[in-house]
Structure 1
Amino acid sequence: SLGGSSHTLMLACVSPADSNLEETVNTLRYASRARAIRNAAMKNDIRAAGGVAAAAAAAENAILRREVRLLKLQLLEARSGGASGGSQAASENSSLVAGLRKQLQFAQDEKRALSDRLREADEKVFVAQLKADRLALALEQHQARDGEDVAPGARAETGEG
């Protein structure tokens, strides 16, 4: 296949022998069509397209970090206030700690899920960009083929002028 995001080199092997005339002409026609294909090499930038998803994930991470800090502060306050309260206060503190640990685990699981979703979204953007590049290449090739269907000498041979 010709085209894509790379430079292309075409070598055509032709022969001066009369027995290879048809094959030489076909090779030269193909090389001429291939020469008309223009490649535009460009860098695929996944981050620009996935910027919205990355910003959303960053905002969610910031919220989760704040929540974790708040929970740690509550835990420290509960520990310092419950040191002289006896066994009932210790029981309340342990239940508070258990609840805070569950919330922390939930926040970490949610962060992991969001990171996975972000990675999947980036992959989808990359695949969509590849498809768009292939379609653009196919369009260029089709336009190049349509422009060369009528050979320059064909009109002179038919007598049309």
Structure 2
Amino acid sequence: MNLRDKLKEKTIILPIKATTQTDAIQELLTHLQGINILTATSKLMSYIDINEKKSPSAAGRGIAYPHSTSIEVDNLVCVLGLSKDGIDFNSPDGQLCHIILLTLSPDEDPREHRKFITRFRTMIDNPIIRSQLLDANQTIEVINIIQQWEEEDALTDNFN
């Protein structure tokens, strides 16, 4: 699964304007509504809020992965928000989140997001990539960073 299949210029918010966890998730959902991927956000926001209370999406190291299923999507939908200042997502390590990847899976395949998140996590485990993403000033830079990483990763896979 390629990250570029789901993360495109229109599904990246740089910078995310929100300063709280709830506002950040709402901003990501509203963005998807604004690009006609979603028609409504209030129910999804409620579901994600419930999920956050059960199992917080903050993974540590400045990264959060909020997720929900939705009847509005037929395939996995992702939106990436990058925050220069960071947002408190109640992270287990106490760090503010700078990288927020919201995923929405179709009801029929509620675990579809896991492969994508695993791939994304592999990329941002590289501290250089993580730093480049946070230093980016335009969405095209983010796309180029992802593309370059995927091309290099494919070459590495071919040699292993």
Task: Using structure 2 for the length normalisation, give the TM-score.
Answer: 0.22
Greater strand fraction, Structure 1 or Structure 2: 2
Task: Using structure 1 for the length normalisation, give the TM-score.
Answer: 0.22
Greater helix fraction, Structure 1 or Structure 2: 1
The structure showing larger relative contact order (alpha-carbon pairs under 8 Å, at least 6 residues apart) is 1
